[in-house]
Amino acid sequence: MAKKEETAVTPTREDNYPLWYQEVIKASDMAETSAVRGCMVIKPWGYALWENMVSGLDEKFKRTGVKNAYFPLFIPLSYLEKEAEHVEGFAKECAVVTHHRLEKSEKGLKPAGKLDEPLIVRPTSETIIGESMANWTSSYRDLPILLNQWSNVVRWEMRTRLFLRTSEFLWQEGHTAHATREEAEERTMQMLNVYTDFVENHLAMPVIKGRKTESERFPGAVDTTCIEAMMQDRKALQAGTSHFLGQNFAKSAGIKFQTRERREEYAWTTSWGVSTRMVGGLIMMHGDDNGVIMPPRVAPAHVVLLPILKKSADNSGILEYTHKIADALADTTYHGRKVVVEIDDRDTGGARGWEWIKKGVPVRAEIGPRDMEKDSVFMATRDCAPRDKKGVKREEFIASIGDILDGIQNNLFNRALAFRKEHTHNIDNREDFYRFYTNEDGNRIAGGFTNAHWCGSAACEEKIKNDLSVTIRCIPFDSPREQGECICCGEPSSKRVLFSKAY
Amino acid sequence: MAKKEETAVTPTREDNYPLWYQEVIKASDMAETSAVRGCMVIKPWGYALWENMVSGLDEKFKRTGVKNAYFPLFIPLSYLEKEAEHVEGFAKECAVVTHHRLEKSEKGLKPAGKLDEPLIVRPTSETIIGESMANWTSSYRDLPILLNQWSNVVRWEMRTRLFLRTSEFLWQEGHTAHATREEAEERTMQMLNVYTDFVENHLAMPVIKGRKTESERFPGAVDTTCIEAMMQDRKALQAGTSHFLGQNFAKSAGIKFQTRERREEYAWTTSWGVSTRMVGGLIMMHGDDNGVIMPPRVAPAHVVLLPILKKSADNSGILEYTHKIADALADTTYHGRKVVVEIDDRDTGGARGWEWIKKGVPVRAEIGPRDMEKDSVFMATRDCAPRDKKGVKREEFIASIGDILDGIQNNLFNRALAFRKEHTHNIDNREDFYRFYTNEDGNRIAGGFTNAHWCGSAACEEKIKNDLSVTIRCIPFDSPREQGECICCGEPSSKRVLFSKAY
């Protein structure tokens, strides 16, 4: 048996994927659990990634005419009661504010000043934004309203995992109201396309676009569209959703307007969102046994320069040379953003290099006396093996930094796509389907994506879910019409749908 | 008596300043009160201003090495108990979460799932960030830690005013920990200077820098520095604070480190913050009887183009000409930000122009058939009277847009500075001082800024506060040493301090 190469993260993905996920976050210093139940501390390295995600998405939203706004953190209890489907969805898991001050007692501080009506810390702002939209809309001239909010939301979770499932998380929620059905449907698809563009081109995460089945739909939505990505344990993660809500939501919120023909009508609305969960997805899709890998388009830093310094020697030459390179790089831009360069001149030897590998900086460049002599740097890219380094002339390094970064970005996307293809199968036989999702192979979870026929009945969908914990992730938009038999009941089907285990 | 000119906002500042403030916000469509007690809805126009403030400040923070992070919304009750001074300050006015789900009952939903320990919705994150800093610090090598958080906070307020005092508001809180006292003191001043630079150069708000007296200091701080601005009712508004906390805070949070000499020591910390209150300050400093005035450096839009369209006529020529100008302007930058241009091609005549005046867009340009013939636009700037318009050649308009905007920016600053100078007096006599702050002149509140001698005793400070509602805003850094007598008790004083009524 070949000796396993040592890795910076233990266990490896192969050995224990869920534990690897925890450890890789620790190793990269992106986040940690806090003393507050279910809430996380997003540390600077993780938050910088989130900031880049926010600014990339925000720019795309605004280009479609969406405007940001901010609505209250608290939702009066009575608002939730208005939306029957909301209650079912969120009442089980929410933070309830019942008092508005603290009072000293013998046992220390205790809540005082009971509120007449309890307030819920927003699990989503649907109802409170709906209230405003109703106030702001009287004529077709007031439409469309195209709003987005970046904020924190709270959903009480019993089992939490950093980024993937936390009681408090950060997200954006878009809410739009339109005068016609067609316009709202177009907006639903437009925003799904914005997400697809962002996730594929900025996060280097290939996704499958489709529509949810009725049972997986957002409560109250007429249509839920989504993008689904395959993680390295071959499970699916939903990377964004865009909902067409028809007039359902406008009816419960009272968003009415007078049409051009002076009829009163309810507006047509949409909503769409992504959250810090996306950070978890990025880690799970690109990370390896040495740490996180940051796609260059959203990396908190693009390049780290590692001057090799000697104790009790004059290092000023090396440092000057390093800073010269840093300045030249920082004067260049990469996809409209300034190239961000870190210089790590700490004297900690090999550990220093491994720290940046674990953090996933796309490009590392060591700079020793011999590199300086040759007017070059000793470069490694994070998508390759840690020891895979090469000398590059300084001028060439600086001039081609954009190409180097694009190369990494494309490589990350292409290998994720190849991985997904490798683990996606058409299955036409119930026995094969069940075997595919139950045969455990060592420590690895069985499965992957399957394209299989489905008759359209909720009963078959539920049976598969109960038997295998496998769900229909979506009905892919590009799934061709094709005659077949339901993988569960054998009844006729006209289309394959995407099945998988999922986060 | 001369007939008063009609204004877009009623009442005028002169007639009723507090009510003018409410009406000017309504007129500009920046924000509104929500159905949730004490919370506001920040509408797109107000939020876009806040976003520009955030990005301007954030860039300056980062240039000093500060990194953003995110900490939990909830603070366990026991954390507040640790900080005695915190309890006094915040316990009276906080949102307390006591339950984690809702249950159906006969009377509708009711709170269920009582928490073992109540959670407080953060009124500030001092304690929870302190907890993390303590965990992250073991050696002098871990210092400095330079953190900032952009977030929402909640302080239960009984009387609220949009932006100035709301139960929920948006802010940033910076927290830094250092190995030496000197470094922490320098950081305190560095961040005050960042605020000063931002507020004066981006918001066009002249401020006075100084130090708070002991009684006005942040609870637990060794030194509170601040910047104070004069509003148009001649009252002061604190526009930013930066605190040197000594080792007090590190001691209660347990932020310890081993020094280079292997001694254990507590860290030296600072904190500093500004909030959406700054939006209120900007409105009160620059707004006039026709609406808000946006300083160009932070304006949500720099220019609005108003093509004059004719009903049942072919307007395509005018529209094409307008879009050509918009495209050319949008290709230029103003202080590193793309020039933002709005085209308002609605057919609502004069009302349309007034809408943009009320919103405070720095430059308006009307474009009618005659302007197009002359290859020009008919331009007005928001710092001048609404009817003060002039024809400008198109090429010149585009080429000089940066200068036009700088002209407005400087004018706003200079007139605010002149106003402050006009209403700032040296007073050396108790009787004059009392008269200055009590003589009402029609509807106008008496007062302004006074530089007066103060003996340094808390008793005198309190007496003046009780008698006149006048407080020492700060001990200005540039106040020269000068012998005098305390304005209250007549005892010797070596320095003038800044007195004023305040928000």
- pLDDT for the residue numbered A158: 84
Angstrom distance (rounded) from CA B386 to CA B74: 48
Chains A and B: how many Cβ contacts under 8 Å? 185
Within 10 A of A3 (CB to CB), how many other CB atoms are there? 5
Sign of CA dihedral A441, A446, A449, A451: positive
How do residues A404-413 score in pLDDT, each as one tens digit?
999 999 999 9
Which letter does DSSP use for residue A3 in this model? P
Q: Do B68 and A74 touch (CB under 8 A)?
A: no
Q: Does A42 touch chain B (CB under 8 A)?
A: yes
Say if strands B424-426 and B449-453 run parallel, antiparallel, or are unpaired: parallel
Query: What are the tokens at B266?
Result: 């507590």
Residues 95-114 of A with CB under 8 A from B: 95-103, 108-111, 113
Strand order in B376-381's β-sheet? B341-343, B303-307, B363-367, B376-381, B390-393
Cα–Cα distance, A118 to B102 (Å, whole number) = 10
3-state secondary structure B273-338: EEECHHHHHHHHHHCECCECCCCHHHCCCCEEEEECCCCCCCCHHHHHHHHHHHHHHHCCEECCEE
Find out whether A94 and A73 touch, Cβ atoms under 8 Å: no
CA distance A128 to chain B (A): 9
pLDDT single digits (tens) A295-321: 999 999 999 999 999 888 889 999 999
Distance between CA A401 and CA A381 in Å, rounded?
11
Stretches in chain A below the pLDDT threshold 70: 1-5, 84-88, 348, 440-446
- Phi first, then psi, for residue A135 (nearest 5°) are -70, -30
Q: What is the β-pairing status of strands A376-381 and A363-367? A: antiparallel
Question: What is the SS3 assignment for A221?
Answer: coil
Q: How far apart are CA B385 and CA B8, in angstroms?
A: 12
Alpha carbon of B258: minimum distance to chain A alpha carbons (Å): 18
Cβ atoms within 10 A of the Cβ of A362, count?
A: 26
**Angle between helix A277-286 and A401-422 (nearest 10):** 90
Query: 3-state DSSP: chain A helix, strand, coil percent, rounded to 5?
Result: 35, 30, 35
State how far the alpha carbon of B135 is from the alpha carbons of A78, A471, B149, B245, in Å. Answer: 41, 41, 18, 19
Predicted local distance difference test score (pLDDT) of residue A479: 92
Task: Specify the amino acid at residue B141.
Answer: R
Q: How far apart are CA A27 and CA A23, in angstroms?
A: 6
Here the tokens at position A102 are 């603290």
Please report the pLDDT score of residue B444 as a whole number.
55
Distance of alpha carbon B119 from alpha carbon B97, whole angstroms: 5
DSSP A139: B
Any chain B CB within 8 A of the CB of A62?
no
Q: Which of A74, A99, A118 sits opposite B39 (nearest CB)?
A: A74
Contact A71 B34 (CB under 8 A): yes
Buried b (16+ CB within 10 A) or exposed e, A257-291: beeeeeeebbbbbbbbbbbbbbbbbbbbbbbbbbb
Interchain pair B93, A101: CB under 8 A: yes
Whether residues A41 and B72 touch (CB distance < 8 A) is answered with: yes
Instruction: Identify any residues that bridge with A225 across adjacent strands, giving them in sequence order.
Output: A211, A242
B304 Cα to chain A: minimum distance (Å): 16
- A39 and B151 in contact by Cβ < 8 A? no
Residue-wise pLDDT tens digits, B422-451: 999 999 999 999 999 987 665 455 689 999
* β pairing state of A337-338 and B74-76: unpaired
Q: Do B131 and A94 touch (CB under 8 A)?
A: no
Nearest to B74 among A36, A72, A81 (CB): A36
Q: Taking the CA of residue B44 as centre, how many other CA atoms within 13 Å lie in the half-sphere pointing to its CB?
A: 15
- pLDDT per residue rounded down to tens, chain B (503 residues): 445 578 999 999 999 999 999 999 999 999 999 989 899 999 999 999 999 999 999 999 999 999 999 999 999 998 888 776 666 677 778 999 999 999 888 888 899 999 999 999 999 999 999 999 999 999 999 999 999 999 999 999 888 999 999 999 999 999 999 999 999 999 999 999 999 999 999 999 999 999 999 999 998 899 999 999 999 999 999 999 999 999 999 999 999 999 999 999 999 999 999 999 999 999 999 999 999 999 999 999 999 999 999 888 889 999 999 999 999 999 999 999 999 999 999 876 778 999 999 999 999 999 999 999 999 999 999 999 999 999 999 999 999 999 999 999 999 999 999 999 999 999 999 999 999 998 766 545 568 999 999 999 999 999 999 999 999 999 999 998 999 999 999 999 999 999 999 99
CA angle B351-B355-B360, nearest 5°? 150
Residue with tokens 């007090």: B248
Q: Is the dihedral of CA B377, B381, B382, B385 positive or negative?
A: negative
Q: Which positions 145-204 of A are in contact with B (Cβ < 8 Å)? A: 147, 151-152, 154, 156, 168, 170
Which residues fall within 8 angstroms of residue B391, CB to CB, at 6 or more apart?
B371, B374, B376, B377, B378, B379
How far lies B447's CA from each of B97, B420, B441, B454, B479, in Å? Answer: 43, 12, 10, 18, 20
Inspect the interface and report whether the beta carbons of B99 and A98 lie closer than 8 Å: yes
Enumerate the residues of chain A whose CB falls inside 8 A of the CB of residue B132: 34, 41
Report the candidate in A388, A389, A394 with the shortest Cα–Cα distance to residue A374: A394
Note the pLDDT tens digit of each residue in A69-93: 999 999 999 888 877 666 667 777 8
Number of helices followed by number of strands (H, E) in chain A: 15, 26
CB A491: neighbour CB atoms within 10 A?
Answer: 13
- The answer to whether residues B240 and B272 touch, using CB atoms and an 8 Å cutoff, is yes
d(CA B231, CA B237): 7
Interface-testing mutation among B96, B109, B120, B157, with chain A (most A C-beta atoms within 10 A)? B96
Determine which of B29, B42, B73 to mutate to test the interface with A (most A C-beta atoms within 10 Å). B73
Cβ within 8 Å, pair A168-B128: no
By the 8 A CB rule, do A246 and A201 touch?
no
**pLDDT at position A468, please?**
95
DSSP B343-406: E---S-THHHHHHHHHHT-SEEEEE-HHHHHTTEEEEEETTS-TT--EEEEHHHHHHTHHHHHH
User: Are the Cβ atoms of A132 and B41 closer than 8 angstroms?
Assistant: yes
**Cα Rg, chain A, nearest whole Å:** 26
Q: Please give, one letter per residue, the 3-state secondary structure of B125-187.
A: CHHHHHHHHHHHCCEHHHCCEEEEEEEEEECCCCCCECCCECCEEEEEEEEEEECCHHHHHHH
Chain A residues within 8 A of B76 when measuring between CB atoms? 35-36
Q: What is the DSSP string of B8-77?
A: SSSS-TTT-HHHHHHHHHHHHT-EEE-SSTT-EEE-HHHHHHHHHHHHHHHHHHHHTT-EE-B--SEEEH
pTM equals: 0.96
Q: With CB atoms and an 8 Å threshold, state whether B71 touches A97.
A: no
Nearest residue on chain B to A154, alpha-carbon basis: B73
Which DSSP state fits A300? Answer: S
CA A327 to CA A412: how far, in whole Å? 27
Neighbour count for residue B213 (Cβ, 10 Å): 19
B93 burial (CB, 10 Å; 0-12 / 13-18 / 19+) is: middle
Structure tokens that stand for A485 in this block: 């038999």
C-alpha gyration radius of chain B: 26
Residues 199-228 of chain A with CB under 8 A from chain B are none
- pLDDT for the residue A1: 42
Torsion of CA B212, B214, B217, B219, to 10 degrees: 170
Q: What is the ipTM of this complex?
A: 0.96
Contact call for A69 and B121, based on CB within 8 A = no
| Cβ–Cβ gap A97/B102 under 8 Å | no
